[in-house]
Protein backbone atom coordinates (compact mmCIF):
# COMPACT_ATOMS: atom_id res chain seq x y z
CA UNK A 1 0.00 0.00 0.00
CA UNK A 2 1.37 3.39 -0.89
CA UNK A 3 1.42 6.05 1.78
CA UNK A 4 -2.04 7.43 2.44
CA UNK A 5 -2.86 11.03 3.25
CA UNK A 6 -5.45 10.97 6.05
CA UNK A 7 -7.43 14.03 7.12
CA UNK A 8 -10.24 14.02 9.66
CA UNK A 9 -12.89 16.74 9.70
CA UNK A 10 -14.60 16.69 13.08
CA UNK A 11 -15.71 18.65 16.11
CA UNK A 12 -14.85 17.79 19.69
CA UNK A 13 -18.34 17.24 21.16
CA UNK A 14 -19.55 15.00 18.33
CA UNK A 15 -19.95 11.43 19.67
CA UNK A 16 -19.42 9.92 16.21
CA UNK A 17 -16.18 11.87 15.86
CA UNK A 18 -15.10 10.66 19.30
CA UNK A 19 -15.77 7.09 18.15
CA UNK A 20 -13.48 7.54 15.13
CA UNK A 21 -10.81 9.24 17.24
CA UNK A 22 -10.90 6.37 19.74
CA UNK A 23 -10.27 3.93 16.88
CA UNK A 24 -7.35 6.07 15.76
CA UNK A 25 -5.90 5.82 19.28
CA UNK A 26 -6.50 2.07 19.57
CA UNK A 27 -4.96 1.33 16.17
CA UNK A 28 -1.99 3.63 16.79
CA UNK A 29 -2.85 5.79 13.80
CA UNK A 30 -3.50 9.00 15.74
CA UNK A 31 -0.24 10.59 14.55
CA UNK A 32 -0.86 9.73 10.88
CA UNK A 33 -3.94 11.95 10.62
CA UNK A 34 -4.27 15.69 10.14
CA UNK A 35 -7.23 17.03 12.12
CA UNK A 36 -9.56 19.85 11.10
CA UNK A 37 -12.05 21.06 13.73
CA UNK A 38 -14.94 22.58 11.77
CA UNK A 39 -16.14 24.53 14.81
CA UNK A 40 -12.71 25.94 15.59
CA UNK A 41 -12.23 27.36 12.08
CA UNK A 42 -15.15 27.92 9.74
CA UNK A 43 -12.96 27.68 6.64
CA UNK A 44 -12.72 23.93 7.33
CA UNK A 45 -16.51 23.65 7.36
CA UNK A 46 -16.68 25.69 4.15
CA UNK A 47 -14.15 23.41 2.46
CA UNK A 48 -16.14 20.36 3.51
CA UNK A 49 -19.32 21.88 2.09
CA UNK A 50 -17.59 22.93 -1.15
CA UNK A 51 -16.00 19.49 -1.67
CA UNK A 52 -18.91 17.27 -0.67
CA UNK A 53 -22.08 19.34 -0.48
CA UNK A 54 -22.33 18.30 3.18
CA UNK A 55 -21.13 19.57 6.52
CA UNK A 56 -21.64 16.33 8.40
CA UNK A 57 -18.82 14.97 10.47
CA UNK A 58 -16.88 12.86 10.91
CA UNK A 59 -15.48 12.97 7.42
CA UNK A 60 -12.20 11.23 6.74
CA UNK A 61 -10.41 12.21 3.56
CA UNK A 62 -8.29 9.33 2.33
CA UNK A 63 -5.97 10.58 -0.38
CA UNK A 64 -8.39 13.41 -1.07
CA UNK A 65 -11.52 11.22 -1.26
CA UNK A 66 -14.09 11.83 1.48
CA UNK A 67 -15.58 9.03 3.54
CA UNK A 68 -18.51 9.71 5.84
CA UNK A 69 -20.19 7.55 8.49
CA UNK A 70 -18.22 6.71 11.61
CA UNK A 71 -18.74 2.96 11.21
CA UNK A 72 -17.43 2.99 7.64
CA UNK A 73 -14.41 5.03 8.69
CA UNK A 74 -13.81 2.72 11.67
CA UNK A 75 -14.00 -0.40 9.52
CA UNK A 76 -11.58 1.11 7.00
CA UNK A 77 -9.13 2.07 9.75
CA UNK A 78 -9.23 -1.40 11.30
CA UNK A 79 -8.82 -3.06 7.90
CA UNK A 80 -5.78 -1.00 6.89
CA UNK A 81 -4.22 -0.18 10.28
CA UNK A 82 -1.37 -2.68 10.01
CA UNK A 83 -0.44 -1.54 6.51
CA UNK A 84 -0.67 2.13 7.48
CA UNK A 85 1.56 1.59 10.52
CA UNK A 86 4.09 -0.22 8.33
CA UNK A 87 4.51 2.82 6.11
CA UNK A 88 6.98 4.39 8.53
CA UNK A 89 9.51 1.68 7.83
CA UNK A 90 9.32 2.16 4.07
CA UNK A 91 9.98 5.90 4.00
What pLDDT is stored for residue 56 in this prediction? Answer: 95
State the greatest distance between any 2 C-alpha atoms of the chain, in Å, as a whole number.
37
Confidence of residue 91 (pLDDT cuts 50, 70, 90): very low
Per-domain boundaries in the chain: 8-90
Q: Summarize pLDDT for 34-82 with one digit per residue, the tens.
A: 999 999 999 999 999 999 999 999 999 999 999 999 999 999 999 999 8
Question: Which one is predicted more confidently, 83 or 22?
Answer: 22
Query: What CATH number was assigned to the domain covering residues 8-90?
Result: 3.40.30.10
Q: Whole-model pTM? A: 0.89
For the stretch 24-34, pLDDT in tens is 999 999 999 99
Amino acid sequence: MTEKKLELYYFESCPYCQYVMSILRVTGLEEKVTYFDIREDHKFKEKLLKDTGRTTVPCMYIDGKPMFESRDIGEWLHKYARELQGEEGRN
